[in-house]
A = this chain, B = another copy of it.
């Protein structure tokens, strides 16, 4: 069965710095009108960066939306029209100071399909060499090293709660397992 919801009317409620808020009246599949509130966002990139001794680089930063620190993979927003691969290289260096010889696209995914029009591109970075981190002016970031097993223990115990890190580590694990 193919479903579709026709847009009856569309209102841009808010145009902001990183997101827009859209409100649409739609006709549902069952033939009833419904309101859909949706967020437009340029999307971003997330990186699983693995060192030569099999450590994965994680970053910790304060997240205002949650009012707490979060342990996450390196990641960043896409500028409008920016090539995700270039953004991946940039964010890895900005947030961690590392450069990667190999940056492989793994997959892309949607963090919250119910109301967010945002796509995240996930990359696997290897062949790393250390330089100097230089985060954006409004970012303050610490880096940490973990093995995959340690990160999976954190996920299983509920101590790694960042969605993009869970999605990206899963994709990396599946990729690394199938390469063996």
Interface residues of A (CB under 8 A from B): 1-5, 13-14, 16-19, 21, 23-24, 26, 28-30, 32, 34-39, 41, 44, 61-66, 69-70, 72, 77, 107-118, 120, 137-140, 142, 152, 155-158, 161-164, 166-167, 169-171, 174-175, 178
Contacts and interface: CB of A to CB of B under 8 A. Distances in A.
A137 B26 CA distance: 13
A66 B162 contact: no
A56 to B, nearest CB: 15
Given A19-B37, A37-B17, A169-B170, A3 B62 contact: yes
Contacts of A18: 37, 114-115
Given A155-B171, A163-B113, A30 B108 contact: no
Contact of A156 (B29, B36, B174): B174
A32 B164 CA distance: 27
Closest 6 CB pairs of A and B: A3-B62, A29-B140, A170-B170, A166-B167, A107-B158, A34-B138
A4 B155 contact: no
A34 B156 CA distance: 35
5 contacts: A24-B64, A111-B112, A163-B164, A163-B167, A170-B170
A36 B77 CA distance: 14
A72 B110 CA distance: 11
Contact of A171 (B28, B72, B77, B156): B156
Given A155-B171, A166-B167, 10 more contacts: A2-B69, A19-B37, A21-B21, A24-B64, A26-B64, A32-B138, A66-B117, A77-B114, A111-B112, A113-B164
